Structure 1
């Protein structure tokens, strides 16, 4: 068999350049830098370029080494282009030298890209002649790489490709497979598209496949429409509205923990806003109170608690808790007449590496930065919700809303499942960057997966109200100080209203991400079997 290049007419250097450009496009698709909006078509187009570079042929296929290199370049460019704003936290606020901060971002991106490089190398090694199987295998291997990035070493799945689809035609699938399932489907479609030839359109098989895919997507869309609009159960009563006031202090990050500037400003502004609020529920963001209770002026926290000890209002407040003996937690305090004796408390479970805990062997790295670091205790997964006004309100802090499988643990009992999610964040560490827009799309995806509203209270943005359809209904201007007022309708209050548990919430609450892992393993076994049955493409 004659040797032939994997992409005829293209030198390796040009293939590498295309892979990097496609990776940058994938990053931009998650939140377009000039508008903050996700572009689902750009995500599929960028994946199609990658798929085209590694696609097998009947007579020749890409070597596993080249596949790994192309996959690594694409993923490194994509991930570095996604979370480049880590540079701001390390250099601008942490004082780390710019070259070291750039190296840290690129090093993290390259490390996480190794999962994709490995899976694409294996994909090329098991290359098949069947176009349908090739598309399925490509999507499944991409899924495995995404799962590895999202779970290993505590997981950092920020920027998963599925987040680009919150406004696209594939959004209807979120209630079934979650963001990882969406990403796998997009990868399958990309590989399927680049393998098409003009002759394929003259046969009935392609049209049968397209008809089946269109019918499945149409059914999923109709099913989702009926679920969110209750069109199949008109006897169910609509949920009552809950009025909200979401506080955005816009405390400058370089002053937030300074006793002579940011601390007194935060204490004064948040106390006034909490005392003057009129809504059913008032929410102050992550570490809105930047001091431990024992460090506060005597009577400060007690005065706020007394304000909500009676009457028709409640508050959720971000504050650090604990002491040197018991350890510290990044927490939320809930205040209402029902919690006067025992205040509600939520402790963050999924801690941020280097910010809330220092990984082994990395103290030398954190020692080079001037950032107030902590070694916090972890809360447990599936903590109780805050009960107020007939709602079960489930807090999550910072990037905890990135881990849908952990939020989903609360749905195993429909009677205790959240009716509203509330995210408490401080994205001020990353400036006025695309990180704000990316985090907003992450919260929207959780709303799509669980069909629950997601309320966001942040220091600098995006402070917003997202309804159970994943639509942003209210949003405060970023990097401004103010109060966002609006209403939200909880979902799944009781049996009469309908529990409204999505398929994704049902299976992820019981088995976590294991069904997706098993799908990837089964497809890998299928690929090995098909290869051994003589369905593989020739190698070079």
Structure 2
């Protein structure tokens, strides 16, 4: 086996072009670790392969950063290529320009992990144990953190998301998704050491310790279930090409009302009269992001009438809408609640029972350097691409005896943002989205995979309502309670138990990981100095 691997590695490193092709292949296969493919195991040959390749490249004094960059670039291109759908179908971009922009985005994202790999192999040490077990995972976590923060951040495709159905998921309520990433990197490092026959006992024991720790932690629960509440997630499946046309506003709303069990009719004077098909039990009805594709300020008569009817039916409605501040002339991507709500929380334009999105999507919701970019192409003038940010920390929404922590679309990919808004008495996580921008690509499946991890990290059920999919519900352990097929108009009804309490991750966040990185790098520095002495 060793002879075969050595022969294969020599062939893969025989020239710079061979190294780059090998690195591109090893990076590209990582897409299969994530949804919808969920072949988590491919990360291990991918990383072991790149570690062996970089060791060889280092010994040959060749293009170490370039090989690292191609590995990560191919990973991001394979994983994020679906972004082209929004550019092609809704942005009016020529194919060549769309492709170029995607490559540029992926090249930018690839700089962060490439820096980690480059530094890992540039730091002068002959010890593979120090390099792979102390330096590499620490630098990878640090550059991942930077990728999720610099220029508002893009924390997509963290390695840990791929392992939600493995024993390593036990680390999520303790350390968050990046705790799983650390476990994956340590196992990959140990497998590489075993391949190199370096410290095999240490490598074997560490793999066993990581796996057994993950298994043991997976058996623990940190939150306590509460009495169930009934929820109805409405998937309207509104055509994205027509959604923002003025004459489509009320037909879309009527469709949502019909799916919600409420129809619109006229009284004897011809005025709108909202009526119910049949009496309903107490229920939280959830519509997706910007389900009401109009300005809240312009729809007060309708919204007040709708809220009254939901109250009469002992129901509450949570829906996405656009809030316009007439005084400051600012737009906000918002969530409002109507209908049967706790005292003092009822609907009004100044009601506290609302949420304004904080983490805005670049280009989609705000355009950086807009004076320069907006004139270039329709893609930089998508509908509602000039939002203002809501506060980083906002009050939970309230329904019945429970409280709800909201996240709008892209925000669910920011674990620390949601963690700061989840409290001991937060019962549910609600995320509204509209992934119709990305058609039938793999993007919505990745988005759902990310949302599911938030339920596991914080030990709370997660309700995800979308325009055309994937609408789904997860319990406080991340187990799926139901989903709706994509591109269908339907309703997902379930009884869901809120959960109170705090996971260790909820209490301390990523602090333990920062401590690990600091101590690991200090230890590596001390050990390298000792060996050099």
For the aligned pair, the TM-score class normalised by the smaller chain equals 0.7 to 0.9
What residue is the counterpart of 1:125 in the other structure? 122
8 Å Cα contact 1:287/1:319 also seen in 2: yes
The yes-or-no answer on 1:248 pairing with 2:235 is yes
Equivalent runs, 1:396-415 vs 2, <5 Å: 396-411=407-422, 413-414=423-424
State the Cα distance separating 1:215 from its structure 2 match: 4.1
2:406 to 372, 392, 395: 395
8 Å Cα contact 2:169/2:214 also seen in 1: no
8 Å Cα contact 1:131/1:192 also seen in 2: no
What does the per-residue CA deviation read over 1:470-524, in whole Å, with 9 as the maximum and x for residues that have no partner?
12110001011111111211111xxxxxx2x11111111xxxx455345434433
What residue is the counterpart of 1:41 in the other structure? 41
- Equivalent residue of 2:138, what SS? helix
What residue is the counterpart of 2:271 in the other structure? none
The yes-or-no answer on 1:364 pairing with 2:373 is yes
Equivalent-residue separation in structure 1 for 2:398 and 2:485 (angstroms): 29
Equivalent runs, 1:422-433 vs 2, <5 Å: 422-433=430-441
1:477 to 478, 481, 485: 485
What residue is the counterpart of 1:54 in the other structure? 54
State the Cα distance separating 1:197 from its structure 2 match: 4.3
Equivalent-residue separation in structure 2 for 1:62 and 1:424 (angstroms): 51
Equivalent-residue separation in structure 2 for 1:403 and 1:503 (angstroms): 18
8 Å Cα contact 1:26/1:46 also seen in 2: yes
The yes-or-no answer on 1:214 pairing with 2:208 is yes
Equivalent-residue separation in structure 1 for 2:95 and 2:20 (angstroms): 26
1:22 to 18, 21, 26: 26
- Equivalent residue of 1:25, what SS? helix
State the Cα distance separating 1:314 from its structure 2 match: 1.4
The yes-or-no answer on 1:12 pairing with 2:16 is yes
What residue is the counterpart of 2:221 in the other structure? 227
What does the per-residue CA deviation read over 1:38-68, in whole Å, with 9 as the maximum and x for residues that have no partner?
22211222222222212379xx7464x6221
What does the per-residue CA deviation read over 1:7-42, in whole Å, with 9 as the maximum and x for residues that have no partner?
6442221121111112111122112xxxx1422211
What residue is the counterpart of 1:533 in the other structure? 530
State the Cα distance separating 1:361 from its structure 2 match: 5.9
Moved over 6 A (4+): none
What residue is the counterpart of 1:168 in the other structure? 166
Equivalent-residue separation in structure 1 for 2:228 and 2:126 (angstroms): 56
8 Å Cα contact 1:56/1:124 also seen in 2: no
Equivalent-residue separation in structure 2 for 1:127 and 1:476 (angstroms): 53
The yes-or-no answer on 1:340 pairing with 2:319 is no
What residue is the counterpart of 2:107 in the other structure? 110
State the Cα distance separating 1:347 from its structure 2 match: 0.6
The yes-or-no answer on 1:273 pairing with 2:267 is no
Equivalent-residue separation in structure 1 for 2:372 and 2:494 (angstroms): 44
8 Å Cα contact 1:38/1:163 also seen in 2: no
State the Cα distance separating 1:317 from its structure 2 match: 0.8
What residue is the counterpart of 1:495 in the other structure? none
State the Cα distance separating 1:380 from its structure 2 match: 1.3
Equivalent-residue separation in structure 1 for 2:217 and 2:520 (angstroms): 27
The yes-or-no answer on 1:190 pairing with 2:188 is yes
Equivalent-residue separation in structure 2 for 1:155 and 1:519 (angstroms): 22
State the Cα distance separating 1:287 from its structure 2 match: 0.1
What residue is the counterpart of 1:313 in the other structure? 315
Q: How many residues align?
A: 498
The yes-or-no answer on 1:382 pairing with 2:396 is no
8 Å Cα contact 1:61/1:124 also seen in 2: no
Distance 1:217 1:362, change over 3 A: farther
Equivalent-residue separation in structure 2 for 1:535 and 1:334 (angstroms): 65
- Equivalent residue of 2:63, what SS? helix
State the Cα distance separating 1:424 from its structure 2 match: 0.2
Q: Which runs of 5+ in 1 are unaligned?
A: 231-235, 493-498
State the Cα distance separating 1:289 from its structure 2 match: 0.2
What residue is the counterpart of 1:442 in the other structure? 450
State the Cα distance separating 1:151 from its structure 2 match: 0.9
Equivalent-residue separation in structure 2 for 1:535 and 1:504 (angstroms): 39
TM-score normalised according to structure 1 size = 0.86
What does the per-residue CA deviation read over 1:142-167, in whole Å, with 9 as the maximum and x for residues that have no partner?
11221111111100011111111111
2:286 to 283, 289, 300: 283
8 Å Cα contact 2:405/2:429 also seen in 1: yes
State the Cα distance separating 1:254 from its structure 2 match: 1.1
Equivalent-residue separation in structure 2 for 1:62 and 1:475 (angstroms): 52
Distance 1:483 1:12, change over 3 A: same
